Amino acid sequence: MEVEEAIRTRRTHKVFVREPVPPEQLRELLELARWAPNHHLTNPWRFRVLGPQALARLKQAAGPEAASKLDRAPTLIAATARVTPDDPVQSEEDLLATACAVYVVLLAAHARGLVGYWRTPGVLRTDAGREALGLSPDEHFVSLIHLGGRRQQQRTPERAPADEVVSYLD
């Protein structure tokens, strides 16, 4: 799949087949994420692939109402960015680089016939949720990536025309 096609055709999916992403494919996706741009090559991202026990802890921290959304995808990956408290500019750059790395995972998964969902559930902004996944104080939660096989087609949403979001400055 060409890059432009991947960008234009990737969609958010919330319904997945039950089989998890094979470990070798997961390794490929996370290997590609390492190539996201990052200032000073800090490699600020941290990815945690959730196993059954980690998922159970996170569901318990989320509570019964929010826990069901954590069961949507057969493979979940928590992405965080390292924070440098004494350097807010570097921390911001590392946060943005980690967001790029997450998008690399989603595009690469799409190119392999998988589907994904970038979530930012509230539980991972709580002490209990962070503790459930062992997030340290120097990590900023970025995304809970849901991955799996496609179970349904998604429609193409309307996008704002480029003229509405782009300006050219003299």
CATH number of 47's domain:
3.40.109.10
Q: Write down the residue that tokens 């921290």 correspond to.
A: 61
**Whole-number pLDDT of residue 33:** 96
Helix 88-111 with 23-33: angle, nearest 10 deg: 140
Q: Which domain, by its residues, includes 81?
A: 3-152
**166 inside domain:** no
pLDDT at residue 137 in the model: 94
Is 70 within the bounds of a domain?
A: yes
84 occurs within a structural domain: yes
Q: Is residue 158 part of a domain?
A: no
pLDDT > 90 in the chain, percent: 71
List Cα–Cα distances, 35 to 5, 11, 41, in angstroms.
20, 22, 10
Residue 8 pLDDT class (50, 70, 90 cuts): confident
Tell which residue, 80, 90, 77, has the closest CA to residue 116. 77
| Residue 69 placed within a domain | yes
Lowest mean per-residue pLDDT among 105-109, 153-157, 164-168: 153-157
pLDDT band at 17; cut points 50, 70, 90: confident
pLDDT of residue 62: 96
> Residue 80 falls within a domain, yes or no?
yes
How far is Cα 21 from Cα 50, in angstroms, rounded to an integer?
Answer: 12
> What does the alpha-carbon distance between residue 131 and residue 124 come to, in Å, rounded to a whole number?
9
Tally of domains in the chain = 1
For residue 55, is it within any domain?
yes
